[in-house]
Structure 1
Amino acid sequence: MDDFLQTVALLRARYQRPPAFNLFSVLRSSSDEVRLHSRFLAFLLDPKATHHQGTTLLNLLLKRLGIENFDSESVTVEVEYQNIDILVRNLSGQALIIENKIYAGDQDEQLWRYHQRMHAEGYAEIWTTYLTLEGSEPTERSRKSLPVILLSYEAEIVSWLKDCVSLVAREPGVRESVFQYIELLQKLTSSDQSEIYMNKLKEQILLGENLFVIADINHAFNAVLADLQIDIWERMTAYQARQYPQLGKPEISATKEAVYAYYKKAKNSKYIGLTFPFTFMKGGVYIELNHRLYSGYYCDGEQFPEDRERLMALGRLIAPNTRSSGTLFWKFPKINVNLHTPTNEDLVLLRDPQTRELIAVSLIDDMHDLLQRAHQQFA
C-alpha cells in the first residue's frame, strides 16, 4: 500500500503539469455563468460572429443534441433575453433555450416559464436544454412536465469545443480562446489531468491488489469530504451561538445524516443548510448547499407574495447591477469552494482547519448582515 501511494505521488510530481495562464480566469470568475460562459458559448453559436464559420459551429452542437431540421440560416443568438441564458431562434418558428447552471440553483417553474414565454411569442418548435457541469437533472419544480435535454460541460460541451478547434484553426485568436476555454472547463470539472499522467496511473491501478485498494480509497475520500463539510457546519453553529446568540438556534437540515446522503448522491440531498426565520415578517435568511455554500433570503411567494416582493426590492437595493430575475438575493462567501467535486485548490483549502473556520465565519457574518438589512428596512 505504501509503495503504491509513493509511486502515485512520484508520477504526479513528474507528469502532472501546474495550472497554466488562462485569460478567462484572469478576466472573470470561472463560475460566472452569464458574463463568461453564456457569452462565450453564444459567440461560438452565433453565425454572424467574428469566428467566420457561419452556421457550422451551431450545426455541430445541434447534431450533438439530436436536433434535426433546425433552420440555422435565419438564426439570431441572444444572451439574457427575458432572463433566458442563451436563446437561439429563427424565422421558422423554432427556438432553442439553453439554461446555463454552473452553481446556481433552480427557480420555481423556471424552465417551464421560459418554454411558455417562447410559446406565447409564437414559436411552435421549442427545445429546452439544461446545461450543467456534469449533466445534472433540473428539479421537478423547475421543469414541471416539460421534456428537457440534459447537457454537460464535462462531456458534450468539451467534446463539441474540441470539434470546433480544427474548424477555427485559421483564426488564431478564436482558436486560442477555444483552447483556453477547454482548459478552464476541464479545471472546473476536475478533468484537467495530463494524458501521460493518467495513463501511467491506470497502469499502476491494474497491478496486484491496487484496483481493490482504489475502490476502498474512493469510499474513504467521500467520507473525508463529508467529515470536512460537517466540520464547517459545526463551526458555523458554534460561531453563531458565540457571536450572535440573540438569533437563537437555527433550523438545521444540514445534519450528519444529510451530509453523508449528499455524498452518496441520494435523491433530493442538495439544498441542505441552516435557516433563521424572521420575527418581524414572513421569510428569513439561510445558508444553503448546492455544491457550493451561499447565504441569502427566502420567502414563499405563493403564500406570502407581498413579503417576497419586499425582499425582492431589498435585493435590488443591495445589488442594483445584478441580473434581473425572479430569484431572491443570495451570495457566495469570500472563500468559495466546491464541496461536491473539489479541485486540487479546493482540497488544499478544505483540509486546513483555519480556512474551514474562515469559511464558516464568513457565511454566518454574511447571513447576519442580510438579516440586519431586512430588520432595518422592515421591522
Structure 2
Amino acid sequence: MTAEQEQKQKDEEIDINRCNQLFGLVGKILIKSDTAKEERRQRGELFNVFRVCGVNHYETRHSAILAELLNPSGSHGQTDAFLSIFLEDTGLKDFGFNTSTAVVQTESSMANGRIDILINDNRGKIIIIENKIYAADQKEQLKRYAKFARDNYGDGNTRILYLTLNGRDASGQSGDGVEYITISYGDEILKWIRDCTVYCASKPIIRETLVQYANLIKELTNQSMDAKHVEELLKVMANHADEVAAMYNHFDEYREFVMNTYLKPQLEKVAKDLGLELECNWSAKQYTGFSLRKKEWQKCGILFQSQSTGYGNYIWGISCHRDSAKLDYGTLSCLQNSNTPWWQLGYSKLEYNMDVNTMRDIVNGKFIQYIKACVTDILGELGKLEAKDIQLP
C-alpha cells in the first residue's frame, strides 16, 4: 500500500469515527429529550384536544381556529385584542386597519374561487390569508385574489398573507407579479399564539387552549424538542459540520433508498394481505407515488400521488382516467374533498409529506400503518357499493 493510499484509508477511518461520534452524541441528546417528554406526558402536559380531534394537517380546520381567534366577535370574548396582536406580529401594524369594526370570514366566495380567510374592516380595507400546509397552489391563485381585491377595494387597500409551515414563497404561476407577505406557522403564528397566551394569562380556559394549539403548531413545524436540548443538538451539529453537510447533501439519495428499501416491501406486504396489485413510481422527474388495485379494475385504482413533479404535496383517493371511466357514485365519506374529473369519488390530502420526518416514520413502520388504514377505509366503502352491485370499471 502506498503512502497516499494509507493516508486516504486513515482519512476515511477518521470520518467514520467522527460520524460514529456524532451519532453517539445525538443519540444521547434524543434519549434525554425522550425522557423529558415522558415526564411531561406523565404530568399531563402532552394532552392535546386539537390532536385528538384530528386537526393536524387539515388547512380548513386550522383556518377555522385562526379565524375564530382573529374575529373581534369571537367566542373568546377578547374583542379585537387578538386581531391587534396579529397585525403587530405580522408587520401590519401601520396598515391603518380598523380592528374594532373588523369582520372575519372563512371560505369567502369570489367569482372564480374561495378565500381561506378574509378580514374586512368595513372601512375600505381587507386582509386576505391564504392558508397552505401541504397543499399546492391552485392555478393563478394569488393573482386571482389580487384582482378581486383591486376590483372591489382599489389599489393599496389590501394585504395578502401567504401562510405556510415554514414561510415559503408561492409558486411562480400563482404569485408572480403579486405583492404578498409570507408568514409561517413556525414563526409568526407561533409568536402570535404565545403573545395571545400572555395577554390571557389570567383567563385559564383561553390560556390553556392557546397553549395546546401552540404545542400542536410546534409538532407540525418540528419544534417539539425542549429549547435546552435543541441548543445542545445544534452545538453538536456545529462541531461536526462536515458530517452534517454530507448527510444533508445526500438527502435525495437517502429518500429514494428508504422508499425502495423500506417502503416498497412494506407496500408489497399490504398489497398481498389485502389481495391487491401494487405499482410504484419514485422518479423525482415525474409525479411520484404508488397505486393499489384489484385485478378486476381495469381503469381505476387507489392512488397516492404527488400534486406536482417530485415528492411534495401528496393526495390520495380513487383515480380514473377522465376519458375512460365515469363514476356517478358521489364522494366517499372517508375522503375529505369532493370529486373531480380525475378523482371521481373524491380525494384527501396525505397527512405526510415526503420529508425527513416521513422517512423516519417509514423506517419505524408508522407510515405504512397510516397507509394501510387509508386503504382499508376506502375498500370498506367500496365494499358497500359492491353490495349494491356497483363495480368499479
TM-score normalized by the length of structure 2: 0.69
The answer as to whether partners of 1:31 and 1:102 remain within 8 angstroms in 2 is yes
In structure 2, the partner of 1:95 is 126
1:107 and 1:371 map into 2 onto residues whose CA distance is 29
Residue 159 of structure 1: aligned partner: 191
CA distance in 1, matches of 2:300, 2:291: 10
Select which of 58, 71, 91 maps to 2:83: 58
1:220-369 to structure 2, matched below 5 A, reads 220=250, 223-231=253-261, 232=263, 254-255=282-283, 258=284, 272-273=288-289, 286-289=303-306, 291=312, 293-296=314-317, 316-319=330-333, 329-332=346-349, 336-342=351-357, 347=360, 349-352=361-364
Deviating more after overlay: 72-81 vs 139-148: 139-148
CA displacement at 1:80 relative to structure 2: 2.1
Equivalent AA in structure 1 for residue 316 of structure 2: S
Question: Per-residue CA shift, 1:150-170, capped at 9, x if unaligned?
Answer: 221112211222222221212
Question: Over alpha carbons, which structure has the higher Rg?
Answer: 2
| CA distance 1:321–1:340, change in 2 (3 Å) | closer
CA contact under 8 A between 1:274 and 1:286: conserved in structure 2? yes
Corresponding residue for residue 195 of structure 1: 227
CA contact (8 A) 2:71 2:104 kept: yes
Kept in 2: contact 1:64–1:156 (CA 8 A): yes
Count the aligned residue pairs.
Answer: 345
Q: Distance in 2 between matches of 1:194 and 1:80?
A: 36
Match of 2:207 in 1: 175
> Partner of 1:49 in structure 2?
74
Q: Which residue of 2 aligns with 1:127?
A: 159
1:12 aligns with 2:30: yes
Kindly state the Cα deviation for residue 351 of structure 1 after the two structures are TM-superposed: 0.6
Q: Provide the rounded CA distance (Å) in 1 between the counterparts of 2:139 and 2:301.
A: 18
1:71 has 2:71 as partner: no
Gaps of 5+ in 1: 262-268
TM-superposed deviation, 1:175: 1.2
Deviation at 1:350, TM superposition (A): 0.9
Q: Which residue of 2 aligns with 1:265?
A: none
Are the aligned partners of 2:256 and 2:282 in contact in 1 as well (CA < 8 Å)? no
Match of 1:264 in 2: none
Provide closer, same or farther for how the CA distance between residues 324 and 127 of structure 1 changes in structure 2, counting only shifts above 3 A: farther
Q: Distance in 2 between matches of 1:96 and 1:140?
A: 21
Letter aligned with residue 58 of structure 2:
D
Distance 2:340 2:67 in 1: 23
Deviation at 1:204, TM superposition (A): 3.4
Q: 2:302, 2:140 → 1: CA distance? A: 22
Please tell me the residue identity of whatever aligns with 1:11: I
In the alignment, is residue 31 of structure 1 matched against residue 46 of structure 2? no
Q: Specify which of 133, 138, 148 is matched with residue 107 of structure 1.
A: 138
CA distance in 2, matches of 1:362, 1:222: 27
SS of the aligned residue for 1:338 comes to: coil
Secondary structure of the equivalent of 1:85? strand
Please say which of residues 196-205 and 77-86 is displaced more in the overlay. Answer: 196-205
TM-score normalised by structure 1 residue count: 0.71
Bigger relative CO (Cα 8 Å, ≥ 6 apart): 1
Residues 103 and 292 in structure 1, CA contact (< 8 A), matched pair in contact too: yes
Contact preservation (8 Å) 2:71, 2:103 = yes
Q: Per the alignment, do residues 341 and 169 of structure 1 end up closer, same or farther by CA in structure 2, a change over 3 Å counting?
A: farther
Secondary structure, in 3 states, of the residue corresponding to 2:26?
helix
Alignment-derived partner of residue 47 in structure 2: 21
Of residues 241, 245, 254, the one that matches 1:211 is 241
3-state SS of 2:100 partner: coil
User: What percentage of residue pairs aligned between the two structures are identical?
Assistant: 24
Measure how far apart 1:88 and its partner are.
0.6
The verdict on how the C-alpha distance between 1:118 and 1:371 changes in structure 2, with shifts beyond 3 A counting, is farther
Structure 2: unaligned runs, 5 residues or longer: 1-17
CA RMSD of aligned residues (A): 4.3
Match of 1:266 in 2: none
The worse-fitting range, judged by mean Cα deviation, of 5-14 and 190-199 is 5-14
> Residues 243, 129 of structure 1: CA spacing in aligned structure 2 closer, same or farther, 3 A cutoff?
same
